[in-house]
Amino acid sequence: MSRSRIAMAVAALGGSLVGVMAAAPVVSPAGAAALPQCPTAALAKAKGTVDISFWESMNRTNGVTLTKLTDQFNASQSKVHVTLVDQNSYTTTWAKYQAGLSNGQLPAVAQLQDVQLQGAIDTQSILPAQSCINATKYKTSDFIPRALAYWKVGGIQQAMPFAVSNPILYYNKQAFTAAGLTPTKPPATLGQFVADAAALKAHGSGVGLKLDPWHLETWLATANTLFVNNTNGRTARATKAVFAGKNALKVFTDLDQLESSGDAATNPYQGPDGYDNLLGIGSGKYGMSIDTSAALGTIATLLNNGQYPNVTLGVGSFPVLTTKIKGGVEPGGSALYISNKVPPAQQAAAWQYIAYLDTPASQATWAAGTGYIPIRKSSAKTATVQKLWTTNPGFKVAYEQLVNGATTPATAGAVIGPFPTVRTAELTAEKNMYTHGMSPAAALKTLTQQVNAALTSYNERLGVT
Amino acid sequence: MRSRRLREALLGYLLVLPALFLFALFVFYPFARNFKLALYQTPPYPNLPSKYVGLHQVGQVLTSSNFVESLVTTLLFVVLVVPAGLLIGLFLAVVAQRQLRGLAMYRIIFSSTVVTSVAVSALVFYSLMNPVVGLLPWLGIEPHPSVLQSTTWALPAVALMAVWQFVGLSFIIMSAGLQSVPEEVLEAARVDGASSWTVFWRVTVPMLSPTLFFGVVVATIYAFQTFGQIDILIGYQNAAYEHVNVLIYNIYTTLTYGGNPGRAAVMSIALFLITLLFTLLQLRFLERRVHYAR
Amino acid sequence: MPGRRWRLVARYVLLTVGAVLILFPLYMTVVNSLLHANELDRQPPLFFPVHPDWSTYPTAWNVGNMGTYLRNSAIQTVIIVVGQLVTSVLAAYAFAFLRFPLKRTLFVVFLATLMIPFEVTLITNLDTVTSFGWYNTFAGLTVPFLATGFGVFLLRQAFLQIPKDLQEAAALDGYGHWRFMTRVAVPLARPALAALAVFSFLAAWNQYLWPLVVTGDNNAIRTVQIGLKQLQGSQLQDFNVTLAGTVIAVVPLFILLVVFQKQLVRSLTAGAVK
């Protein structure tokens, strides 16, 4: 062949290769499947209004704000109409979602709890948000990186965060003063938390220690410790636990010491949902407690209504494991998932609704109405949110925790298929320590075994071992 | 003649058909399918396909600590409930046996627990054993954790409730059995100078043995099937749940909370075989010692 | 004779102690159901409601939905009892009076159903019922139980007691099978039918596991047993209402016990006495 012919062939080959690569869909590193398309064309072609339903899990109070936002969305355009279906709790929504997988009745949008992330992916019934982000060229730079990072698996944004919270420290400033502690300086590390608890106990109160596995995981995240392998389950499916180490042992030992010394009262029998640790701050039983930032609105209202003259509520950041390691507080809460089992037009419509709920203005309204963290940085600058933070600076704490700190796979949180089983195992480990006198090291060992067993069994059932 | 026979046969099949159809669909088909389910590993989510794994799953389930503990709990429960339930029923039946004044009322009271349904008995005892509204603090029993959440006392507490509920049925069965022991035989023995105790052991009990045997079979099946009481008295969310996790409760939680029909199927077959084994053992060893009058 | 008198007294003492022990839990339930909310956690506990709070019963009936639950249980139970009676009469009649090939085998098959306990059929029955769209409906609640091997066994026994000459006389009088069944066999087997009805009633009313899995969060068909479980989940200060609901649930059956004692005993002891 002549040189020019070869050159032309190479050019053609190169050109076609480039063309192929440009047209090729993004391949997720964690799986073999290519990213599905966001059916925006179907929505554009649809005649009349596309009706979609949204299975939401919020309680009644937050439901009011959600209804307001949804009404605004419905009124602002006539292409998509959203009907809210209140499932009342994350557990119910997930149970109904699973039932829907077999009877075919699934909504276009579902609000699923953080721990259901890998499970939702494994049901093969969701359309990753990334598809629609790509199709509509949606800009995500304004989002708090860690809020997005939690729900990004295998480099793909699976769902969009919506009702985000993290654990914070609630304390009674008056109790602190009475115990000789500085009311403006709540404990910043776990060690100080333990020390302050002793001081509080010596002066009549103590600590309400809620058995919530989320707190265990958050302590590890603040020490930048991974929970499971394969980069916390984000680059590939998690197959074993990797958290057992010096940091986890310190958490277990400190908590055990808090409980056995009597400085802290715990709730091993009521479970996380039934524990009135925050009300105990009101009644003077506890001087401080760690709990979700989502409860701040209710608790602040309750404690400020005049019934508790001996209480001045203070809010501090989650006491990190140690200041020597740069970690971060992991986000929690829920995200919005698009189901791929509804007609394509509805899927694209679902994306429009989700995008609306995540605009800076909506997030500002949402944060002010519910106490969840506004996940867009520009929301933080709006008058609504600024006013909220001036009236009650406690709300700012959760936001700053999410913005500050490192965003790494450890601080983004773990992605685990059988997360509910793992959470139960964490609870059992704590119960074993507090009520059966198991040593922290033994409890940690049993926990590791149980987590590994859960992962192995789940992966085997899924057929991916 | 021929056609009449044919018509009679057809009528026979027609009359049997409704029940047969229901049994085929709701008893035999599920029973058979259970074996198939046991061989398939079901995925965590209902819309994904199941995988044939043969006996691997059976072996895995039967050797799992969860199953073994469940089996031990079940057997312990049976041991706690069956003898106590039968003996108390027998005792009450003997005491209430005579045709004395006012005994009709006592007999109604003793049989009354047979109409307390599962939920009613469970709630009744829940209210007695609850650490806040119950009677235990007054009796000086204030353990920490409370009885219904204690890993040692939860099972005996449920057993106590099950015995109470079973006593009604036990009383009725034993009373019916005692009525078949002819009064003359007892009188004859007493006239011969035998003490009440001897009469009881040497005469009454042997003549009562078919009833006792029936009672043991019924009581065992009842104990193996106890479910609702555990669900209400203790429940899945309770810390003591693992210590009252009898097989039938385990099957339920594996199915509804674990979403794992394959594993549940293996356990239900195991429970069926164990119940069958118990019944056959009882048939073999106990029936031999039963005296039949004729 | 003093010895005899002493023994009689001892017997009455034992009877009374036994009755007290058996009744005591139920008694305390009734007492607690009439206490005011703030009296519930009184220690030592109150053994008699001095100022009874009668409002717990209407509350349990309305807010606690006991009225609805009782209605649902009644519907479910009646459907099952009628279904079991009908299918059992038809099949038992065939086994007792008709000749057809494989009769003996079929009867053994029917008896075999007694050996197959519920937990073995639970999983598949749930799938079957759901696939018919009967999840959370009365159909799903009742259809799997419309036939019973025990009923066929019991009624066949009763039908077999009918003297052969009666059959022959009826045949001579030109009675077809239908007339014989309805005019002669069924009326003569009435005690066994009553016993079966009582037994079926108790079994159906008492069902817990099946209603639990086949009904969802739906008061429209929730039965009394599951309804009581719902009530139990309520706050401790509403416990008097929960117990009022419990009493409401047990009283109808108690009345039935008193009225239908004989039938109850007969059905429960069908296998006891040889």
What is the average pLDDT across C6-10? 83
Q: Please state, in angstroms and rounded to a whole number, the distance separating the CA atoms of residues A74 and A77.
A: 6
Pick the CATH number of C64-232 from 3.40.50.880, 3.40.50.970, 1.10.3720.10, 3.30.230.70: 1.10.3720.10
Whether residue A214 is found in the same domain as residue A302: yes
In A, minimum Cα distance to B42 occurs at A461
Q: What percent of chain C has pLDDT over 90?
A: 34
Read off the tokens for B89: 């029923």
What pLDDT, on a 0 to 100 scale, did the predictor assign at position A10? Answer: 45
Task: Flag whether residue C163 sits within 8 Å of chain B, measured between CB atoms.
Answer: no
Architecture of domain B66-289: Orthogonal Bundle (1.10)
What is the average pLDDT across C175-202? 89
Q: What angle do CA C267, C252, C255 make, to 5 degrees?
A: 65
What pLDDT, on a 0 to 100 scale, did the predictor assign at position B291? Answer: 65
Q: Please state, in angstroms and rounded to a whole number, the distance separating the CA atoms of residues A215 and A48.
A: 48
Block residue for tokens 């009354």: B112
> With 70 as the cut, is the pLDDT of residue A246 above it?
yes
Let me know: does A169 contact A316? Beta carbons within 8 Å. yes
When the pLDDT of each residue in chain C is averaged and rounded to a whole number, the result is 87
Let me know: does B281 contact B220? Beta carbons within 8 Å. no
Closest Cβ opposite residue C253 in set B115, B164, B252: B115
CB atoms C117 and B275 under 8 Å: yes
What amino acid is encoded at B133 in this protein?
Answer: V
Domain for residue A399, yes or no?
no
Whether residue A428 is found in the same domain as residue A295: yes
What is the average pLDDT across B211-215? 85
What amino acid is encoded at B228 in this protein?
Answer: G
Closest approach of A67 to chain B, Cα-based (Å): 31
pLDDT tens digit sequence for A303-358: 877 788 889 999 999 999 999 999 999 999 999 999 999 999 999 999 999 999 99
Q: Please state, in angstroms and rounded to a whole number, the distance separating the CA atoms of residues C93 and C185.
A: 8
Domain for residue A388, yes or no?
no
Domain for residue A30, yes or no?
no
Q: Please state, in angstroms and rounded to a whole number, the distance separating the CA atoms of residues B138 and B143.
A: 12
pLDDT tens digit sequence for B11-40: 999 999 999 999 999 999 999 999 999 999
Q: Please state, in angstroms and rounded to a whole number, the distance separating the CA atoms of residues B169 and B172.
A: 5
Domain for residue A320, yes or no?
yes
Question: How many CB atoms lie under 10 A from the CB of residue B200?
Answer: 16
Strands A109-113 and A332-339 turn out to be antiparallel
What is the average pLDDT across B196-217? 82
Block residue for tokens 């209402």: C241
> With 90 as the cut, is the pLDDT of residue B239 above it?
no
pLDDT tens digit sequence for A42-82: 998 988 999 999 999 988 888 999 999 999 999 999 999 99
Residue A76: phi, psi to the nearest 5? -80, -15
Residue C60: phi, psi to the nearest 5? -60, -40
Domain for residue A23, yes or no?
no
Whether residue A183 is found in the same domain as residue A51: no
**Residue A73, domain extent:** 40-165+330-381
**Sign of the Cα pseudo-torsion (A244, A246, A251, A256, in order):** positive
Whether residue A351 is found in the same domain as residue A439: no
**Subunits with 3+ C-beta pairs closer than 8 A to B:** A, C
Residue ranges in C98-221 assigned as alpha helix (H) = 103-112, 118-131, 138-142, 149-160, 164-172, 177-179, 186-188, 190-205, 209-214
Residue A23 pLDDT class (50, 70, 90 cuts): very low
Read off the tokens for A173: 């400033």
Residue B165 pLDDT class (50, 70, 90 cuts): very high
Put residue A154 in one of left, alpha, beta given phi > 0 → left and psi -120 to 50 → alpha: left
Read off the tokens for A130: 């990334």
Domain for residue A395, yes or no?
no
Whether residue A174 is found in the same domain as residue A187: yes
Whether residue A117 is found in the same domain as residue A209: no
Domain for residue A72, yes or no?
yes
> With 70 as the cut, is the pLDDT of residue C266 above it?
yes
Contacts of A98 in chain B (CB under 8 A): 45-46, 259
ipTM over 0.90: no
Least confident of A105-109, A409-413, B143-147, C114-118: B143-147
Interface test with A, best of B40, B41, B42, B47 (most A CBs within 10 A): B47
Whether residue A436 is found in the same domain as residue A319: yes
Q: How many distinct structural domains can be found in chain A?
A: 2
Interface test with B, best of C246, C253, C262 (most B CBs within 10 A): C246
pLDDT tens digit sequence for B68-106: 999 999 999 999 999 999 999 999 998 888 777 778 888
What pLDDT, on a 0 to 100 scale, did the predictor assign at position A249? Answer: 96
Q: Please state, in angstroms and rounded to a whole number, the distance separating the CA atoms of residues A170 and C22.
A: 51
What pLDDT, on a 0 to 100 scale, did the predictor assign at position B185? Answer: 79
> With 60 as the cut, is the pLDDT of residue A135 above it?
yes
What pLDDT, on a 0 to 100 scale, did the predictor assign at position A9? Answer: 46
Q: Which of A113, A458, C213 is nearest to B45 (CA)?
A: A458
Least confident of A17-31, A433-447, C107-121: A17-31
Block residue for tokens 């809210």: A84
Whether residue A189 is found in the same domain as residue A280: yes
Domain for residue A243, yes or no?
yes
3-class SS letters over chain B: CHHHHHHHHHHHHHHHHHHHHHHHHHHHHHHHHHHHHHCEECCCCCCCCCEECCHHHHHHHHHCHHHHHHHHHHHHHHHHHHHHHHHHHHHHHHHCCCCCCCHHHHHHHHHHHHHCCHHHHHHHHHHHHCCCCCCCCCCCCCCCCCHHHCCCCHHHHHHHHHHHHHHHHHHHHHHHHHHCCCHHHHHHHHHCCCCHHHHHHHHHHHHHHHHHHHHHHHHHHHHHHCCHHHHHHCCCCCHHHHHHCCHHHHHHHHHHCCCCHHHHHHHHHHHHHHHHHHHHHHHHHHHHHCCCCC
